Each structure stands twice: as structure tokens, then as C-alpha cells.
């Protein structure tokens, strides 16, 4: 259990760093009045769903390590498991964001809303 908690912590912290770095990069590009911040937007739109999916992975690691104790309503892990899986169903976590970011990384222009 201790190893899984530590692994989950590393997963979440790495994903958080990516989001913060991508947001910082976009902020810097906007403040510098960069003509086309598509790459920075693409990085942030990639970092957000990545962080959501990595959060699911982190919670799943700890949930499964806890065994059957985690399935009971009185266990905080049960609520966290449900919450993170519901959050992963949000629009921000849709696979389309990976595709749009991939287009930007390949020098293409995404066609989905928001670009």
C-alpha cells in the first residue's frame, strides 16, 4: 500500500507540473503578444486531459491496493474513486483533445471549436 501511495503521488505531481508548465508557457506567449500561440495552446489542451487521466490512474492504483475495504461507502477511497471516474467523463478529458494537440504538434491546424 505504501508503494502504491508513493507511486500515485508521483503520477499526480508529474501531471500537475505538466499543466503548470503548459499554462506558464501559454501565459508567456500571450504576454509577449506572440502572433500564433497554437503550440502553447496545444500543449495546455494536451496537459489537461492527460492530468485527468493520470489522476484516474493514481486513484485506481491506491483503490486496488486497498482491496475490498475500498468498496464500502464508509471508506473515503470509494467516494474518491467514483469522483475521479466521473470527472474523467467531462468534456475536458475527451480523446478529441489529444487529437487536436497532436495536429498542432504536427504543424496542422485543428478544426474543432476553440481554435
Low-confidence ranges of the chain (pLDDT < 50): none
CA trace torsion 42, 43, 48, 54 (10° rounding): 130
Q: What domain range is 99 assigned to?
A: 2-105
pLDDT of residue 33: 97
Instruction: Provide the number of structural domains found in the chain.
Output: 1
Domain membership of residue 89 (yes or no) is: yes
Q: What is the DSSP letter of 103?
A: H
What CATH number does residue 27 fall under? 1.20.140.10
The reply to whether 97 falls in a domain is yes
CA nearest to 103, candidates 112, 94, 93: 112
- Residue 45: the pLDDT is 92
Main-chain phi, psi angles of 37, to 5 degrees: -85, 25
Whether residue 36 is contained in a domain is answered as yes
Model confidence, pTM: 0.88
Residue 113 lies in a domain: no
Question: Which runs of consecutive H residues, i.e. helices, occur in 32-72?
Answer: 38-66
9-19 per-position pLDDT tens digit? 999 999 999 99
Q: Is residue 20 part of a domain?
A: yes
Amino acid at each position: 500500500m505504501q508503494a502504491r501511495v508513493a507511486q500515485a503521488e508521483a503520477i499526480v505531481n508529474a501531471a500537475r507540473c505538466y499543466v503548470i508548465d503548459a499554462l506558464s508557457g501559454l501565459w508567456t506567449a500571450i504576454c509577449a503578444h506572440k502572433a500564433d500561440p497554437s503550440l502553447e495552446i496545444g500543449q495546455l489542451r494536451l496537459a489537461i486531459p492527460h492530468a485527468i487521466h493520470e489522476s484516474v490512474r493514481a486513484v485506481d492504483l491506491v483503490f486496488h491496493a486497498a482491496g475490498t475495504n475500498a468498496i464500502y461507502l464508509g471508506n473515503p477511497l470509494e467516494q474518491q474513486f467514483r469522483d475521479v471516474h466521473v470527472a474523467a467523463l467531462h468534456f475536458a478529458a475527451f480523446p478529441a483533445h489529444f487529437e487536436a494537440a497532436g495536429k498542432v504538434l504536427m504543424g496542422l491546424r485543428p478544426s474543432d471549436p476553440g481554435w
